[in-house]
């Protein structure tokens, strides 16, 4: 069996995507675009991705590869030969912007906390500044874990990075990092962490038979005083009695 692949012409980072989340290299291939302040978007690396079979990329579409027909106004497929870098033309606008290009966002391809079920963008439950991109490629879904640039936060409603930090889970309960008791649940406590722009609050539960010990800042066996000593009237005391001469010790 023989497979035929088009050789994709090398692309530049820093291409203006006109506010879109993708940029069509041609009808069959595209690049991912990152959100910038003031609603701008641009490519931050040179990676290109192929569309699934029978789907095409259109820069006027709502998402990458969402067209079932090849766009008549889209650019022609690229040549199947790589250009000579010494002869390629460099856009005059990129020389002034190259030094100001944002750092490429860190990315990984897998993570145990999230798994792509469909194409799209999805928030990272562990950080409001990170998000997942699920791409529908010819061989199946591909997962990218990346972060918003310039300290922006990922908005789970618009599915875009924004300077508005309200999408970060913050709470007035937290004024400092650490663990704090849940006054309504003696077996629970809160963990407060700083995300760079505000505090995030997480509710935690102690294990079976444990309660949160505020003095020690951790869960301890039920029946211990705050300092760790056994309470005189506690289920643990009765549980630990053993038979001896004259009754129980």
Whether residue 163 is contained in a domain is answered as: yes
Statement to judge: residues 120 and 31 lie in one domain: yes
Instruction: Please give the share of the chain, as a percent, with pLDDT higher than 90.
Output: 37
User: Would you say residue 73 has pLDDT above 80?
Assistant: no
Instruction: Return d(Cα 99, Cα 167) in angstroms, integer.
Output: 31
Statement to judge: residues 73 and 128 lie in one domain: yes
Statement to judge: residues 162 and 191 lie in one domain: no
Residue in this structure with the two tokens 């889970």, named with its chain if needed: 169
* pTM, full prediction: 0.51
* Of residues 73 and 201, more confidently modeled: 201
Statement to judge: residues 116 and 48 lie in one domain: yes
Statement to judge: residues 114 and 199 lie in one domain: no
Question: Per DSSP, which regions of 112-187 are E strands?
Answer: 120-124, 127-137, 140-147, 153-155, 160-162, 178-181
User: Would you say residue 206 has pLDDT above 60?
Assistant: yes
Statement to judge: residues 158 and 111 lie in one domain: yes
Statement to judge: residues 123 and 66 lie in one domain: yes
pLDDT tens, residue by residue, 74-109: 454 444 344 444 444 444 443 444 344 455 555 444
Whether residue 109 is contained in a domain is answered as: yes
pLDDT tens, residue by residue, 141-178: 999 999 999 989 999 889 999 988 777 765 667 888 89
pLDDT tens, residue by residue, 35-62: 998 889 999 888 999 999 999 999 998 8
Whether residue 242 is contained in a domain is answered as: no
Give 249's pLDDT tier (boundaries 50, 70, 90): very low
Whether residue 180 is contained in a domain is answered as: yes
Residue 133 lies in domain = 22-80+104-167
Statement to judge: residues 163 and 47 lie in one domain: yes
Whether residue 36 is contained in a domain is answered as: yes
Enumerate residues 6+ apart whose C-beta is below 8 A from 245: none
Residue in this structure with the two tokens 């290299």, named with its chain if needed: 25
What's the rounded mean pLDDT across residues 193-204? Answer: 78
Statement to judge: residues 108 and 210 lie in one domain: no
Number of domains in the chain: 2
Tokens for 227, please give them: 């300092």
Statement to judge: residues 150 and 203 lie in one domain: no
| pLDDT averaged over every residue in the chain | 75
C-alpha closest to that of 119 among 40, 49, 223: 49
Whether residue 26 is contained in a domain is answered as: yes
Instruction: Return d(Cα 60, Cα 62) in angstroms, integer.
Output: 7
User: Would you say residue 113 has pLDDT above 70?
Assistant: no
Task: Flag the least confident range among 14-18, 151-155, 174-178, 196-200.
Answer: 196-200
pLDDT tens, residue by residue, 118-148: 999 999 888 888 999 999 999 999 999 999 9
Whether residue 218 is contained in a domain is answered as: yes
Q: 33 phi and psi, to 5 degrees?
A: -110, 145
């Amino acid at each position: 069996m023989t497979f035929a692949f088009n050789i994709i012409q090398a692309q530049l980072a820093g291409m203006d995507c006109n506010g879109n989340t993708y940029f069509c290299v041609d009808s069959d291939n595209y690049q991912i675009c990152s959100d910038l302040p003031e609603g701008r978007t641009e490519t931050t690396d040179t990676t290109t991705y192929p569309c699934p079979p029978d789907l095409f990329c259109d820069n006027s579409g709502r998402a990458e590869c969402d067209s079932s027909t090849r766009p008549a106004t889209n650019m022609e497929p690229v040549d199947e030969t790589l250009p000579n870098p010494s002869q390629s033309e460099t856009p005059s606008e990129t020389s002034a912007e190259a030094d100001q290009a944002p750092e490429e966002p860190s990315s990984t391809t897998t993570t145990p906390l999230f798994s792509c079920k469909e194409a799209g963008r999805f928030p990272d439950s562990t950080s409001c500044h990170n998000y997942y991109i699920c791409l529908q490629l010819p061989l199946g879904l591909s997962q990218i874990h990346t972060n918003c640039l310039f300290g922006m936060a990922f908005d789970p409603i618009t599915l875009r990075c924004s300077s508005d930090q309200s999408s970060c889970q913050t709470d007035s309960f937290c004024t400092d990092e650490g663990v704090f008791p849940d006054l309504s649940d003696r077996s629970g406590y809160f963990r407060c962490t700083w995300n760079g722009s505000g505090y995030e609050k997480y509710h935690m539960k102690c294990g079976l038979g444990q309660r949160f010990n505020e003095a020690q800042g951790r869960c301890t066996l039920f029946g211990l005083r705050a300092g760790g000593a056994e309470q005189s009237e506690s289920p643990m005391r009765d549980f630990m009695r053993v038979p001896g001469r004259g009754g129980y010790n």
